[in-house]
Chain A
Amino acid sequence: MTMDFLPLVFIAPLLGFVLLAFARGRLSETPAAIIGVGSVGISALTTLVAGWQFLGNPPVDGYVAVQLWTWMQVGNFAPSFTLHLDALSLVMCGVITGVGFLIHLFASWYMRGDEGYDRFFSYMNLFVASMLFLVLGDNLLFLYFGWEGVGLASYLLIGFWYKDAANGAAARKAFVITRVGDTFMAIGLFLLFREFGTLNIKELAVIAPTQWAIGSTMATTVCLLLLGGAVGKSAQLPLQTWLPDAMAGPTPVSALIHAATMVTAGVYLIARMHDLFALSPFAQHMVGVVGAITLLLAGFTALMQTDIKKILAYSTMSQIGYMFLAEGVGAYGPAVFHLMTHAFFKALLFLSSGSVILAMHHEQDIFKMGGLRKHIPFVFACMLIGTLALTAFPFTSGYYSKDEILHQAYLTGNHELWLAGVFGAFLTAVYSFRLIFITFFGPERFDAKHHAPHGAHTLDHHIPLAILLVLSLVGGFIHLPLAGLLPEAPIPEGDHGPAWIAHLPLFASLAGIAVSWFLFLKNPQIPAALARGGLTGAIGKLWRSAWGFDWLYDRVFVKPFVWAANINKNDIVDSFIGVIPATLRGANAVLVRTQTGNLRFYAAMAGAGACLLIAIMAFH
């Protein structure tokens, strides 16, 4: 089976990036939007056709390879530039181009009037192209290329409004912290290459099990290093602190990069390398543990945030924690399923929040909103559906994926991870309905005269929201063709567990909604009183500061580094090497005095030099 048109999927956005980047602000908004949105649209159509052919006529090996060229050839190392399309990449491509297209369309409305309109779309197209490289690469080098590309696009877009220094700082923070993870991953790739002499994913999956025993030190080391990369990109503990700051970027960026696609790259990486993780039960368990801890910590943090985008950021962190948890127990299928549904409803939530922010004249504090459901009913409906999907309410997309994850976590015997997940579901319901109740219900806390919310009435605002709304509702019925590609979770045959196990997450969610209603809508004085209390106030402060990780990293890493850099301001090594030019300069200063311009002096010196030479020769 051939798919010669497949490269178009990344060529279109890449071309869009080049066109827009070279336009450098000379294009007006409409052509910029046509190029920026249209290129991703072409990409989405290509994916659609490719998916149609792939599913209609499944290839024998389960994948289609399109070799474009050999990237480089160094000795035996010849990584090829080959697109590898299998069910997993197809799902990822569908999410990236499909959800990406809707977000681009929404952004063409959201960014209207911004002076960097075409710059914005050039960065966004660069991101889409890089992300497609990441998921279509057939070797880890190609994947790493896309991995760094999305990091760059993320950096550029977080600092998009670069005139505010705080945005630049947030962009740098995101870049540096993910770089820590990337370094781990790079070392992992070096080790893999040293051991096997190849970075081709298919070949690795065949060779690795024949050379490494299950649980061998090398396998665990490499898997933990890969996990390090995944943790950095997916904002999991302990490299999670960049994601909330990344909300400094425009809201469509938060929706596309920091919720729907890029931050799930870590989940994709682990699913892609599942053959390696199968060799290291310890590393795989660590994936689940990292996910469980992150989802709990992020859940508590989200409870105390007041910025609408930060709440969503922490909920993203927490939902990716679920995906890691699923991969940790071997439930790769549900993890990817949750990745997809999460992309739908989290994109919907972020875009709606963007609409709310614009309606409130760039106000992001939920305590300065309230009662908005009467002013912007359509956005309220979107937000509500998105939140219901997030809390895994029955018949929404999130219900099917999250339920599956927790059920399999229990059945594989990881009861403590399961318990963390169920409690996380309760927390999710509390914090996400806190957002709904405070923003859309209750008294109007804004200044009605100056802050009157104004809704949007254009199609480029409504269509993306409407499509994502439908997808958030019915996305759970999409059947992913992942069987046979990703391993099934190791569940004993015919074991379905006690009946109440399957329903407990639902009750946890419902209880969470009830608690949220009771605390934040019915009796808002209770949280206020708790915040004033000595112990509860301190805990609340800890949660609001995201468990003090920023504070800790500032003390442990940033301050000592700045201190050392301050001491070494003049570069100690430099001062040793500086002796050589200083000597030369000194000698020059002395010798230059002999150049008097006096001819007779020169003659005398020449004579004296000759006498000296003769004397040396005579008496030596």
Chain B
Amino acid sequence: MTPMPAIPMEHALLLAAALFALGLCGLILRRNIIFMLMSIEVMMNATGLAFVTAGSRWQAPDGQIMFILVLTLAAAEACVGLALVIQLYRRFRTLDVDAASTMKG
């Protein structure tokens, strides 16, 4: 079996960076809190992709271990985030985060 042609590292990292930038844009531009959570998820997976890429480049298991850590983190974040979504909706009857900007410094 011929080995799969290796994807150049630059391509993988560029993809990760593009995903991360898209996620960040979504986070900043979307007002619906559920979409914001989804954007954060995208950003996390972008970092996971970068870790895996780096792990394959140096033939080290650390990248995959880090990806598992990121997955765990994402699960925990989703828990807390969804709880916040429910609280936000109960309090304000909307999912628009800008409505919840009453706490000012």
Q: Which A residues from 587 to 608 make CB contacts under 8 A with B?
A: 591-600, 603-604, 607
Contacts of B101 in A (CB 8 A): 596-599
Contacts of A593 in B (CB 8 A): 105
- Bound complex: CA A607 to CA B24 (Å): 8
For residue B6, CB closer than 8 A to chain A, the reply is no
Contacts of A598 in B (CB 8 A): 97-98, 101
For residue B102, CB closer than 8 A to chain A, the reply is yes
For residue B91, CB closer than 8 A to chain A, the reply is no
Q: Which 3 A-B pairs have the closest CB atoms?
A: A595-B105, A597-B101, A597-B104
- Using an 8 Å CB-CB cutoff, how does the interface string of B5-29 with A read, 1 for contact, 0 for none? 0000000000000000000100111
Known: A600-B27, A607-B27. 5 other contacts (CB 8 A): A593-B105, A597-B102, A598-B97, A599-B98, A607-B28
What is the total number of residues of chain A having a CB less than 8 Å from a CB of chain B?
A: 13
Interface residues of B (CB under 8 A from A): 24, 27-29, 31, 36, 97-98, 100-105
- Nearest CB in chain A: distance from B91 CB, A: 14
- Bound complex: CA A597 to CA B101 (Å): 4
- Bound complex: CA A591 to CA B105 (Å): 9
User: Is B97 in contact with A599, judged by CB distance below 8 angstroms?
Assistant: yes
Contacts of B105 in A (CB 8 A): 591-597
Question: Most A CB atoms within 10 A — which of B100, B102, B103, B105?
Answer: B105
- Bound complex: CA A596 to CA B102 (Å): 8
- Nearest CB in chain B: distance from A608 CB, A: 10
B105 — nearest CB in chain A belongs to which residue? A595
Given known pairs A607-B24, A607-B28, the reply for A600 and B104 (CB within 8 Å) is no
Given known pairs A600-B98, A607-B24, the reply for A595 and B104 (CB within 8 Å) is yes
- Bound complex: CA A596 to CA B104 (Å): 5
Contacts of B29 in A (CB 8 A): 600
- Bound complex: CA A510 to CA B26 (Å): 116
Question: Most B CB atoms within 10 A — which of A593, A595, A597, A604?
Answer: A597
Contacts of B98 in A (CB 8 A): 598-600
B100 — nearest CB in chain A belongs to which residue? A599
Contacts of B97 in A (CB 8 A): 598-600
- Nearest CB in chain B: distance from A597 CB, A: 4
A598 — nearest CB in chain B belongs to which residue? B101
- Bound complex: CA A569 to CA B24 (Å): 58
Contacts of A594 in B (CB 8 A): 105
- Bound complex: CA A528 to CA B101 (Å): 92
User: Is A600 in contact with B31, judged by CB distance below 8 angstroms?
Assistant: yes
Contacts of B102 in A (CB 8 A): 597
- Bound complex: CA A597 to CA B99 (Å): 10
User: Is B27 in contact with A597, judged by CB distance below 8 angstroms?
Assistant: no
28 interchain pairs, CB-CB under 8 A:
A591-B105, A592-B105, A593-B105, A595-B104, A596-B104, A596-B105, A597-B100, A597-B101, A597-B102, A597-B103, A597-B105, A598-B97, A598-B98, A598-B101, A599-B36, A599-B98, A599-B101, A600-B27, A600-B28, A600-B31, A600-B97, A603-B24, A603-B27, A603-B28, A604-B28, A607-B24, A607-B27, A607-B28
Q: Which A residues from 264 to 296 make CB contacts under 8 A with B?
A: none
- Using an 8 Å CB-CB cutoff, how does the interface string of A566-602 with B read, 1 for contact, 0 for none? 0000000000000000000000000111111111100
A605 — nearest CB in chain B belongs to which residue? B28
